[in-house]
Amino acid sequence: MLTTDEIRAIPLFSTLPEAELERLAQTSADLHLSPGEYAVHEGGERALYAVLSGKMEVVKLFDGIERTLGWRVPGTIFGEVPLALSSPFPGAYRAAIPSRVMRVDAQHYYALAAASPDVATRMGALARERIGGLQGLSAEPPKTRVKLVGARWDPACANLRQFLARNQISCEWLTPDAPELETHWNGPCPEEQHCPALRLADGTLLIRPATRDLAERLGLQTQPRLGEYDTLIIGGGPAGLAAAVYGASEGLRTIVIEREAPGGQAGTSSRIENYLGFPGGISGDELASRALQQARRLGAEILVTRAVARVDTAAREVHLDGGDVVRAHTLILATGVTWRRLAIEGFDRFIGKGIYYGAARSEASGTHGLDVYLIGGGNSSGQAALYFANHARAVTLIVRGASLENKMSRYLVEQLTGKENVRVELNSEVVGVYGQTHLDAIDVLDTASASVNRRECGGLFVFIGADAETGWLPPEIACDNRGYVLTGNDAVKAGRWSHRRDPYLLESSVPGIFACGDVRLSPVKRVASAVGEGSMAIAFVHRYLQEDRA
């Protein structure tokens, strides 16, 4: 328990009257931290901390890499910047050695500052000093982890750019004919036939690398550390990451298998406006990045660039591409859905060369000054249109139906109406695509008048709905005729449940194998519901494991 003598030894509190010291002793938390344990994480809620003993390390993530910014020793404080700006912590504070830290809640600090103005004055001066230090950090030129040289219309280059962006790896992209290539590349410029070429921060040169090789070179996890887990999650979208967070936080040995990058389809969303707790909205990749950090911090393993070849339900074994086999007591299917394909002659030859399914944020920089078109009238296309409107000269939504309101949320419709460079064409379809090395024109059919118009097109992005791709699942796991996994009562109604007890709500036709998120048969397809189901799946995993052990 804190004593007034210990608090008085902190220079900030040394002149406080005895009554205020007593109040602090009664209301402040006394944190005893082991090496590596955090007093507060980056983004944590504001409070004032004082180091009583030990040594605290100040760390912050820059481009996914942890950097030490300084240290706090006995007698020093931290938390002055969040309190001064009413903001979350810009960095994290963890114990370098066994340490003891005093924590004063924000409301108690403000009461103290009102009663003792000298404390507020000294806190303000310290905050200004440290804000200046943060400004100095922000003024430093960013150090990219990867330099990439590749042609704009090269699908291999586009895939690598998207992979790096979705894994939060900073990348400087240069085309082979860029005038600044020679000064930026720091070495002999790669010939075009050797592109895409990448140079890593340590000088390593990679020529047309496979994404898994690149991931390993960048320190991303591609191999499981254990042979057996309590739960194995297939898919790293919102549902899978939520399951990873809750599974790891509750002490389960948890691993996520993701074939590309965490975030799933939601990770490509430019802005999610209706997610609880983010009144200003949040981009899909930012939400995925936060969830990923949280899952890893709690101990979950996240494997990227690994696909599941097959699942042995009897042995509870998951066979990965490359021959690795991972065993788990329970499985959670969170594979989400994939974009539906358009059946237009010549369409596929322009994939990655001007035509894209979905809309990665990394593509926006390539649309400056161009006229781009989006096919679809749902929320995903509306969010992408708003994002591209900040880059492209004009954005046109091609919608087959007669109204946006049928499939798009009202807030998106209103925002699109307010954008001067966004146009919506109802009762329309794309019926032709043209170009030599890349897409440069499309034919648009007006179904009302049966007229066809050819348009110059700087990019075509397709959002025509999505389907579950579950053909790789073993036949023991029941799906409906569209590939969605049957769970709970739906599995019973289909006559695919034979266990002696009733299935849990998210349990598939195989006991101990669960499904959550968009891959599960359900009328609700929202990020919030996917996150909720991911957390619920862990509750059912616990019940199953208890039953199994009994």
State whether 273 and 236 are in the same domain: yes
State whether 151 and 254 are in the same domain: no
Instruction: Tell me how long the chain is.
Output: 550
Give me the domain span that covers residue 163.
146-217
Q: How far is CA 203 from CA 167, 332, 526, in A?
A: 20, 40, 43
State whether 12 and 130 are in the same domain: yes
pLDDT on residue 430: 95
pLDDT on residue 139: 45
The verdict on residue 240 lying in a domain is yes
- DSSP letters for 410-444: HHHHHHHHT-TTEEEE-SEEEEEEEESSSEEEEEE
* Residue where one domain finishes, among candidates 70, 104, 139: 139
Q: How far is CA 204 from CA 62, 175, 496, in A?
A: 21, 19, 53
The verdict on residue 59 lying in a domain is yes
The verdict on residue 222 lying in a domain is no
State whether 234 and 212 are in the same domain: no
CATH number of the domain that 111 lies in?
Answer: 2.60.120.10
Q: How far apart are CA 133 and CA 130, in angstroms?
A: 5
The verdict on residue 444 lying in a domain is yes
State whether 367 and 418 are in the same domain: yes
Of 284, 386, 275, residue with least CA distance to 336: 284
The verdict on residue 163 lying in a domain is yes
State whether 125 and 189 are in the same domain: no
Find the Cα–Cα–Cα–Cα dihedral 218, 223, 225, 226, rounded to 10°: 170
* Residue where one domain finishes, among candidates 70, 105, 139: 139
Q: Are 289 and 264 in contact (CB under 8 A)?
A: no
Which ranges of 357-401 does DSSP label H, i.e. alpha helix?
Answer: 379-388
Q: How far apart are CA 390 and CA 388, in angstroms?
A: 5
| Amino acid code (one letter) for 284 | G
Q: Are 514 and 549 in contact (CB under 8 A)?
A: no
CATH number of the domain that 518 lies in?
Answer: 3.50.50.60
State whether 319 and 377 are in the same domain: no
**Count: domains in the chain:** 4
* Residue where one domain finishes, among candidates 139, 173, 207: 139
* Chain centroid to CA 207: 28
The dihedral through the CA atoms of 259, 262, 264, 269 has a sign that is negative
Q: Give me the half-sphere count of Cα atoms (radius 13 Å) on the Cβ side of residue 357.
A: 16
- 10-residue block means of pLDDT along the chain (550 residues)? 91 91 92 91 89 94 76 93 86 94 92 88 83 53 80 88 84 88 83 89 91 92 94 95 96 94 76 76 80 89 94 95 94 92 89 84 77 92 89 94 89 90 95 92 94 94 89 95 95 94 96 96 88 96 87
State whether 389 and 281 are in the same domain: no
State whether 400 and 493 are in the same domain: no
State whether 332 and 472 are in the same domain: yes
* Chain centroid to CA 530: 14
| Amino acid code (one letter) for 517 | G
Backbone angles phi, psi at 389, to 5 degrees: -60, -20
**Tokens encoding 74:** 């006995």
State whether 474 and 431 are in the same domain: no
CATH number of the domain that 156 lies in?
Answer: 3.40.30.10
The verdict on residue 343 lying in a domain is no
State whether 23 and 120 are in the same domain: yes
Residues 6+ apart with CB under 8 A from 439: 350, 353, 354, 355, 433, 457, 459, 460
Predicted TM-score (pTM) of this structure:
0.80
